[in-house]
Each structure stands twice: as structure tokens, then as C-alpha cells.
Amino acid sequence: MSGLPSSPTPPDPPAPKNPRSHSGLIPALDGLRGIAILLVLFHHLTIYRPTEGVDQWIAVFPLLGWVGVDLFFVLSGFLITGLLIDARGGERFFSSFYARRTLRIFPLYYLVLFLALVVLPNFPAVHRVLVGPYPLPPLMPYWLYLTNFSIADRGLVHGLLDVAWSLAIEEQFYLLWPLVIWLCPPRLVGWLCAVIIAAEPLARWYGLSRGVDPLAVYVLPWFRLDGLATGALVAWVVRQGHLPSLSRWAPLTAVAGIAGFAAVVVASGDAWWWQPLIQKMGYSLIALIGAAALVRAVNQPADSLWPRLLSVGWLRAFGKYSYCLYLTHLAVMRATREYVFDPNRIDWLAASPWLGQSLFYIAVIVPSLAVAWVSWRAFEAPILALKARFPY
């Protein structure tokens, strides 16, 4: 058929406006993860709890660190959904995803569980200091990533492991979301995320009106999906090519979200996660703020201000070691307070409680980082190297 004209060579596809948006290696995302873990650390390590005056309002800022968990949800939704959309249709879609998640999550988690539930009870005095005075709750939910359901039933009683409620929500998300992405037509994924985002505040509102305990609203997955879905929606928008348009609105969205959340805090009277108005509206506003920060981190050039701020070495280090920090910082905090340094027991700090609090931050965060560094070098990184055996 040499008489037919040859097919013209198709032109190269245009380069994306921002190649960083499709890369899994964006330093700024480590910085966002670092902000999330620092928020959690400040929340848990703030032991000075003033109840009046200017100090009470100053304390609002570190105690607001519980929002770091919501930022983790947004990041997880974004990263996991992006991976799944990119891998959809591949032969190893499910096997590679679950193998790689298992290598990242299970080893350190079950090591901490073994130490806390098997080894530590053999040392009753230390166990009482690190875990607390309450009777041990049922242990099986910890092993099965059902900590959040157990907490909704019996409350927060384990001083070390109940922090794993958020890990349980993420693990439950990882279990079901790949099947959703596999079955849902790609063009509808964004609409599904939007429906979830809109439905979650209504679900919390309805649950609270029916007498559901605020703690259950805080830890049960069907009340906390908007953060994950917001991150997932951003991942979908990236792959639809609309990220630059979304990025233009991100600063205004962040300002509106912060103003809205501040109004909710003032109306609630404080900034704790169990306040009804914060549960009804605040969680969604936090997800919106986190998404705006994420969009700008992904879309802006690496040398622009926001990505550069997020890419500083010390902040990325906190992000890199965030998993171990999250699992172990409460043990370090309790041990430090009991055996090393408790500012409330030092007379000369009574007149300067914020000085004592600042010293306590340092006294806990430095050894916590050391534990996380050792864990990464000796335990986590060698296991993560095995992920190369499970490509998408």
C-alpha cells in the first residue's frame, strides 16, 4: 500500500503548565506533613491550661493543634487518590497498592502495639505512668485497626494507643477507596467526592441532634470523611487539568475558611473539637483551609514563597518522621513529665508558666525526634525499600 500517503507524525503533547502537579516528589508536601505533626505535638504537649485572662486566649493557638489530624486526612486523600487514579486499570492495581500500604503502615504500628500491649505490662510502675490509671480496654480492636470504634464505645482511656483512632480511619479508607476508584468512572470521581463533602456536615448535624456522643462524632469514619474526600477532590482536579484555575481561588478560599473557623470558635466559646458548632461546621472549614494550602503547594513554582517556606529542611524533617512521631510522642511526653522535667513541679517557673511550657516543648520534642530518626534509619527505611518489588 505504498501509494497511500504516510500518516503525519502527531505533534508532541503540550507540557503540563506545572509538571510538579503530577509528581509524587514534591518537597512542599513534606512541609505540609511537618506542619500537621507539629500542630498535633503542640496540642498534646501543652500542659499549661489557663482558664482566664489573656493567657487563656494565647493557649487557644497551641491547643488548636488537634486540627493537624484533619490536615493529615486532606493529605492522605490527595496522595492516595492520585496514586489510585494514575494506576487505575493496571494489572497490579490492588496487589501493589495494598502491599505498599502494608509496608508503610503495619511494621511500625505493630511494633509499637507489641511494646505497649505485650512488653510494657510486665513493668507495672512504668505502665501506670505511660498508659494511665484506667483499666485496660479490650485489646483486639487495636490489633484490627478498630480503635476508633472501641473509643466511641468506651471513651479515651489508653494514654499511648488511643491516638491511633485517626490511623484506624485512614486504614478503613485505604481498605474501601481503591474499590471505589476501580468501579467508579473517572469522570464521576470528583462528583462523588463533592457529594461526600456536602453530606458530612449534615451527617454530623443529624447525629448530634439524635444524641450521638461528640466523641463518637469525632472518631467514627462516617462522620469524618470530608477531609479525606476534600484531598481526593483536589487529586481529581489535578488530573482533569483544572489545577491552575483552582489555585487562583486558593488564597481567597483560605482567608474565607480561616475567617469562618474563627467565627465558629468565637461563637462556640472555645476551640476544642467537641464543641457542637465546631463539629457541625468547623471540621469542614478546616478541610477547606487544608485543601487551599495543598493546592498552592502543588501548583505554585518550587521557587515561589509558599513552596519555599514548606520546603525548608527542618520542617520537611518533621514531615519525614511524622509517622513515628505520631505513634511515640505521647510515651516520650509522659516519661519526660514523670522522670525528667515537669514545669508544674518547679517553684521558680510558677511566675513564668509560658517559659516552663516552652522548655517542656523542647524537652519532649528533641528526644521524640531522636526516637523517630533512629526508627527511620534502623527500621522504617529498610522495610520501605521493599516497595520497589511492588510497582504499579
Specify the pLDDT at position 2: 38
* DSSP state at residue 224: S
Q: Report the C-alpha gap between 190 and 246 in whole angstroms.
A: 14
CA distance 85 to 103: 21
Buried b (16+ CB within 10 A) or exposed e, 69-84: bbbbbbbbbbbbbbbb
Q: Other CB atoms closer than 10 Å to residue 190's CB: what's the count?
A: 19
Q: Grid coordinates standing for 146?
A: 478498630
Cα–Cα dist 189/197, whole Å:
12
CA neighbor of 229 nearest in space, from 203, 201, 175, 190: 190
Task: Choose among 42, 39, 40, 37: nearest CA to 357.
Answer: 42
- The shares of helix, strand and coil residues in the chain, as percent rounded to the nearest 5, are 80, 0, 20
Domain range list for the chain: 40-343+351-386
pLDDT along the chain (392 residues), means of 10: 38 41 71 97 94 85 95 97 92 94 97 97 94 90 97 94 97 96 94 97 97 97 97 95 89 95 91 94 97 94 91 96 98 96 87 92 98 98 95 85
For position 347, what pLDDT does the model report? Answer: 84
Residue 88, Cβ density class (10 Å: 0-12 exposed, 13-18 middle, ≥19 buried)? middle
Are the C-beta atoms of 330 and 160 separated by less than 8 Å?
A: yes
Instruction: Show Cβ contacts of residue 206 under 8 Å, excluding neighbours closer than 6 positions.
Output: none
| pLDDT number for residue 20 | 45
Record the pTM. Answer: 0.91
- For every residue of 12-42, DSSP letters joined together read PPPPPS-GGGG-S--HHHHHHHHHHHHHHHH
> Would you say 321 and 372 are in contact if contact means Cβ atoms under 8 Å apart?
yes
Cα angle 198, 201, 204 (rounded to 5 degrees) comes to: 140
